[in-house]
Chains A and B, each alone.
Chain A
Amino acid sequence: MTTAQAESTIPTGTWQSDPVHSSVAFEVRHAVGTFRGTFGEFEATLSDRGGEAKLTGRVPVESVEVKEENLEAHLLSPEFFDRDQSPEIGFESTRIAAEDGKLVVEGELSVKGTSKAVTAQGELKGPIPGPDGNDRIGIDLETTVDRHDYGLDWNMDMPDGSKMLGDEVTLIVHLELVREEA
């Protein structure tokens, strides 16, 4: 199957994320475990305005949620997301390809004033009619970035000399998007 045929499976129109049935999370190695945090607020849009499918997203870093309030504050500080100078994380796709439900999205991820190209992989589901009569699609995406590329460099030595936090961070996005009425 050619790319052109594959891209034809991306739904047309404009789709907005349903915040209740969507999530944006990150995972990073902590000691020997996996630490997970989420963002409580975000907006994602899939649109074909301009004739090309485009996925965009915005996340206010202020909405970061972890299980300890002092850690939450530390994540907003200049050692991590630097909320005061860079209040938003942004994403804008440059290419979307879908084939048999498999999805590949290339785009620019902006964190803490740095934009870098990333490629995320996942699945595209639907459209199916929702209970309110509006069509819904599901988009699950995952990618891995090196946090040092974005200046999130904090770390601490463990007693055995290893580092407490891993360098690679997995970003996990589960979106349920609702078709915007024309």
Chain B
Amino acid sequence: MMKVLAISGSLRRDSHNTALLRAAAELLPPPVELELYEGLKQVEPYDEDDDVGAGPTGARRFREAIEGADAILIATPEYNSSIPGQLKNALDWASRPKGENALWGKPVAVVGASTGMFGAIWSQAELRKVLGASGARVLDLELPLPHAHEEAFAGDGRLADSEIRERYTEILDELVSLAEQAAQPAQVAA
């Protein structure tokens, strides 16, 4: 069964971005499994001196979770026009060693929620840049969820706005399709 690892860039218990990831579960085409990553806070600060062997526990678990997934879905808030430091720190672990890193060739989609009116569009763009430089196969699509604190989610956790649900479904379908393509054998030039 295909597995999508969902990573929230927000550590807050009642995070809107974590809620946005949970809302993906009902929109993913079956039988795709959505697994929410719970260990972002435990990823150690990146230090090349510590990046030996499998690395320290928190970073190792993060790398292994990415390696074990067929695709990654990341929801990011926006801090000072960019992505949260702990998310960037964890991705730095997953970006090394270059060419053999956990993110290499991994299909990734980026979404984002904010309480403001733009829905974390700058941090989504920043995140796609970081992921691309890490060798991931990044969808060139975004899902801004603005005013996330104002009834963006229904009582059952589903997204309230039908247009946003539709857009999210398209992104998830593309992500699954990219993961299916990535699993195919490589093309050899004519």
Contact = CB atoms under 8 A, between A and B. Distances in A.
A86 B181 CA distance: 12
Contact of A84 (B105, B134, B138): B105
A87 interface: yes
Nearest to B178: A78
Contacts, number: 55
**Which of B99, B187, B189 has most A Cβ within 10 Å?**
B189
A103 interface: no
Chain A contact residues, majority secondary structure? mixed
Contacts of B182: 84-85
B1 interface: no
Interface in B125-141: 132-138
Contacts of B136: 77-78
Chain B contact residues, majority secondary structure? loop
Interface string A82-108: 001111111010000000000000001
Contact of A108 (B98, B105, B138, B190): B190
Interface residues of A, number: 24
Given A74-B133, A86-B187, A92-B190, A69 B98 contact: yes
Given A69-B98, A73-B99, A85-B182, A78 B189 contact: no
Contacts of B105: 77-78, 84-85
A85 B186 contact: yes
Contacts of B104: 77, 84
A115 interface: yes
Given A70-B98, A78-B105, A78-B138, A58 B132 contact: no
A154 interface: yes
A95 to B, nearest CB: 17
B186 A86 contact: yes
A86 B189 contact: yes
A74 B135 contact: yes
B95 to A, nearest CB: 10
Interface in A150-173: 154
A66 B63 CA distance: 28
Interface of A: 58, 69-70, 72-74, 76-79, 84-90, 92, 108, 110-111, 113, 115, 154
Interface of B: 98-99, 104-105, 132-138, 181-182, 186-190
Given A73-B135, A115-B190, 7 more contacts: A69-B98, A77-B132, A78-B135, A84-B104, A85-B181, A88-B188, A110-B190
